[in-house]
Amino acid sequence: MRRRSFLASVAALALATPLRAETFEVTLSDAEWRAKLSDAAYRVLRKEETERAGSSPLDDEHRKGTFLCAGCDLPLFASETKFDSGTGWPSFYQPLAGAIGTKDDSSLFATRTEVHCRRCGGHLGHVFDDGPKPTGLRYCMNGVALKFVAA
């Protein structure tokens, strides 16, 4: 339980905001999200599914630039914070200021910290406390939930 408390504290310091549906700036109907997103992006962003490990080309993206939410184009992660976690998903050690929201996820065998886009509430992935310095965090993101814009 101690590791969970540490992770929650550090995630809060990483400028995450609590997930609250009433605070989302971008709200669309389910039909509008289905029309806007690819089937895979819809399943991940709106239904909180997980893409298959190793399936995203963004895991191998190494250019300078910014990773945006595929749902609303909010900048989420700078390329300088991306690292190879060996998990098969794009991983970052820190989000951009004010970019994400978090909530507890008890859908599997243990409670994890789920990461959402602060602006549209789209499910991005999870954050773990096994990342590199300087934060020690690993934001393990679904590539289909992201867009990359080169600098």
Catalytic center residues: 140
Cα separation of 103 and 19, whole Å? 6
Give residues with Cβ within 8 angstroms of 11, minimum separation 6: 102, 113, 127, 137
Does residue 100 sit in helix, strand or coil? strand
Give CA angle at 133 (128, 138), nearest 5°.
Answer: 20
- Measured CA to CA, the distance from residue 89 to residue 29 in angstroms comes to 28
Nearest-angstrom CA–CA distance, 114 and 141: 10
Q: Where are the beta strands (DSSP E) in 13-111?
A: 17-18, 65-69, 75-78, 82-83, 91-92, 100-105
